Amino acid sequence: MKFSWRVALLWALPILVIGFFLWQGAFSSSAMTGGSNAAATRMSYGRFLDYLNAGRVTSVDLYEGGRTAIVEAVDLDLDNRIQRLRVDLPANDPQLIAKLRESNINLDTHPPRNDGAIWGLLGNLVFPVLLIAGLFFLFRRSSNAPGGPGQAMNFGKSRARFQMEAKTGVLFDDVAGVDEAKEELQEVVTFLKKPERFTAVGARIPKGVLLVGQPGTGKTLLAKAIAGEAGVPFFSISGSEFVEMFVGVGASRVRDLFKKAKENAPCIIFIDEIDAVGRQRGAGIGGGNDEREQTLNQLLTEMDGFEGNTGIIIIAATNRPDVLDSALLRPGRFDRQITVDAPDIKGRLSILEVHARNKKLAPEVSLDAIARRTPGFTGADLANLLNEAAILTARRRKEAITMPEIDDAVDRVVAGMEGTPLVDSKSKRLIGYHEVGHAIVGTLLKDHDPVQKVTLIPRGQARGLTWFVPSEDQALISRAQIRARITGALGGRAAEEVIFGDAEVTTGAGNDLQQVTGMARQMVTRFGMSDLGPLSLESQSGEVFLGRDLMTRSEYSEEIAARIDAQVHTIVEQCYKDACQMVRDNRVAVDRLVDLLIEKETIDGEEFRQILSEYTQVPEKERYASMS
């Protein structure tokens, strides 16, 4: 909404300026009523009379009802040439006219130029007309584009704000890897299909289901599948659509939505990102947000307003259930919460199977191997992965998706688009040392994930990358593992400093350091892995958000805070020293690996370990076997 006003201003400004100039232009033309007289030199009335008496005047044209005259007179000084002169005449001088007629002068009068007045009028109109036309155009534009930048005229009307799908066409079979959620939601389908079965025994059908999970885990898909399985219409809106600039708009949208839904019951209403509107009321900076509170109140009222058995079931999705207003979670509202987690390896495999259905895969492609390589991927990531692989396959004019396309697609989904490699230069060499630093530290530490490959081909924001074989869905991570990760992440900066010296280190390590600090801090404040002892000093969500956390004080004193900082510092310091030492001890190997990397641009993990083992003892890791 704010945005649309900015657009409005952007439009109005040039219109104003143009309008102003046209207006001005029209004004000055209307002032020039006499037309040609502007060009003539002025002559005083007295002189005019003298000329007249001397018989030098040959013609008089009267303008403006006889108040101005253009006089043609003979100029005696200039070879009797005819001069055109302008004279202001006194008003109403009948004698003058008589005299002019007597002396047989060409006499003519010109009526006041009406077109001048018309121009003046038009000039005055042009500006407002342009302004109105501009605004009209603007509003039309904004209301024609649903979800477009501006909706300024759409007060309260939620036209095209929520989507309705009569048939979603999605079935539970299309949603994979979230079996528990599916099981629970199966019941909702039965509510919609056979409500009698429940009402007959006096059961109250739940009105709201809250799906909790990070983005891309398939919450929308699940809600659509419920509608699809039950064969009912699907209404959807995003919580952020409710939050508008004008107070009351959100509330009226809610009213509209429920009205439409009631007309189409039984049906599903899906509210995405409900936390945008359902945050704790009366909190946040500067007191509550009136608009949001009104919208939330309206939502609560609507939910209470319809009987439990009208066949409308509201499904809401969020990844922040902790910020929701408790009123939303009360019985009779969103009283069921279903967690939709990122899939585990089995889940990933079945999601891949769903999305591979309509894709041509070469026989050697193993979905199982892909599932193993993609811990942490959500359903949306996996769908995206297969799609990227298909696009690459088409671009390479292959018949079917093969493993290299899959590999490239994984890299792309994880790290972004591939860029063009740097030409050989000092900075390429520096990045080479940085990456080899990560890789060598990662390889030499027993508790670090093994290196998968090192590359100098830029991707996304990164100018070089070291890939590690990710650990499979590990629920528990040991202290030694976190320390290894911190040391590994510091390996890049350590190599830069050891090789090029203190003054040459670069900003390239910024991201690494951010991760390092985060991990070290969590070791101290959350996992009790420091000399401060086994204390939890921070709430689960480290993030400050406006709904609630801002109000709570930190749970420790200033003194503890200082000690936390000191501990974090100590951990990072020690790990950095270790990393530097490892680079120093293996300087010869590092140099050789960097040369090779600059030449080949990518070294895979196996070769990397092979070369390194010629110089030093490389510890065995369990997961070497599962690689490549």
Residue ranges in contact with ligand ADP by CB under 6 A: 175-178, 213, 215-221, 317, 351, 354, 379-380, 383
Active site residues: 435
Q: Toward ligand ADP, which CB reaches closer, 218 or 437?
A: 218
150 binds Zn ion (CB under 5 A): no
Question: Quick one: which of 512, 576, 578, 586 contacts Zn ion (CB under 5 A)?
Answer: 512
Closest CA relative to residue 313, chosen from 367, 352, 355, 258: 258
Contacts of 567 (CB under 8 A, 6+ apart): 524, 530, 531, 532
Q: State which residue has the least CB distance to ligand ADP.
A: 379
497 binds Zn ion (CB under 5 A): no
Radius of gyration of the chain (CA): 40
Name the binder of 512 from Zn ion, ligand ADP, none, CB < 5-8 A by kind. Zn ion
432 binds Zn ion (CB under 5 A): no
Count the site residues for Zn ion by CB under 5 A.
2
492 binds Zn ion (CB under 5 A): yes
Say whether 465 sits in a helix, a strand or coil. strand
CB of 447 to Zn ion, least distance (A): 19
Q: Rounded to an integer, what distance in angstroms lies between the CA atom of residue 244 and that of residue 250?
A: 6
Say whether 422 sits in a helix, a strand or coil. coil
CB of 350 to ligand ADP, least distance (A): 8
CB of 379 to ligand ADP, least distance (A): 2
302 binds Zn ion (CB under 5 A): no
Exposure string over 161-191, b if 16+ CB within 10 A, otherwise e: bbeebeebebebebbbbbeebbebbeebbeb
Burial class (CB in 10 A: 0-12, 13-18, 19+), 140: exposed
Q: Toward Zn ion, which CB reaches closer, 134 or 492?
A: 492
How many alpha carbons lie under 13 Å from residue 456 in its C-beta half-sphere? 25
**Residue 501, token pair as written in the block:** 């010296």
CB of 294 to ligand ADP, least distance (A): 26
496 binds Zn ion (CB under 5 A): no
Name the binder of 400 from ligand ADP, Zn ion, none, CB < 5-8 A by kind. none
Contacts of 488 (CB under 8 A, 6+ apart): 438, 441, 442, 445, 448, 468, 579
Q: At what angle do helices 426-444 and 587-600 cross, to 10 degrees?
A: 120
Q: Toward Zn ion, which CB reaches closer, 291 or 512?
A: 512
Name the binder of 221 from Zn ion, ligand ADP, none, CB < 5-8 A by kind. ligand ADP
Q: State which residue has the least CB distance to Zn ion.
A: 492
Q: Tokens 């990072």: give the residue.
A: 572
Exposure string over 107-129, b if 16+ CB within 10 A, otherwise e: eeebeebeebeebbebbeebbee
Name the binder of 451 from ligand ADP, Zn ion, none, CB < 5-8 A by kind. none
Say whether 235 sits in a helix, a strand or coil. strand
Q: Toward ligand ADP, which CB reaches closer, 12 or 414?
A: 414
CB of 378 to ligand ADP, least distance (A): 6
Q: Rounded to an integer, what distance in angstroms lies between the CA atom of residue 478 and that of residue 567?
A: 18
Q: Toward ligand ADP, which CB reaches closer, 217 or 402?
A: 217
Contacts of 508 (CB under 8 A, 6+ apart): 430, 431, 434, 463, 492, 496
CB of 177 to ligand ADP, least distance (A): 5
Query: Which neighbouring-strand residues pair with 603?
Result: 454
CB of 466 to Zn ion, least distance (A): 7
Q: Rounded to an integer, what distance in angstroms lies between the CA atom of residue 115 and that of residue 98?
A: 30
Q: Rounded to an integer, what distance in angstroms lies between the CA atom of residue 579 and that of residue 590?
A: 13
437 binds Zn ion (CB under 5 A): no
Name the binder of 380 from ligand ADP, Zn ion, none, CB < 5-8 A by kind. ligand ADP
Name the binder of 354 from ligand ADP, Zn ion, none, CB < 5-8 A by kind. ligand ADP
Name the binder of 175 from ligand ADP, Zn ion, none, CB < 5-8 A by kind. ligand ADP
Check if the beta carbon of residue 405 is closer than 8 Å to that of residue 398.
yes
Q: Toward ligand ADP, which CB reaches closer, 180 or 614?
A: 180
Name the binder of 178 from Zn ion, ligand ADP, none, CB < 5-8 A by kind. ligand ADP
CB of 425 to Zn ion, least distance (A): 18
First to last CA, the chain: 51
Q: Toward Zn ion, which CB reaches closer, 382 or 436?
A: 436
Q: Toward ligand ADP, which CB reaches closer, 317 or 441?
A: 317
Q: In the complex, which residues of this chain contact Zn ion (CB under 5 A)?
A: 492, 512
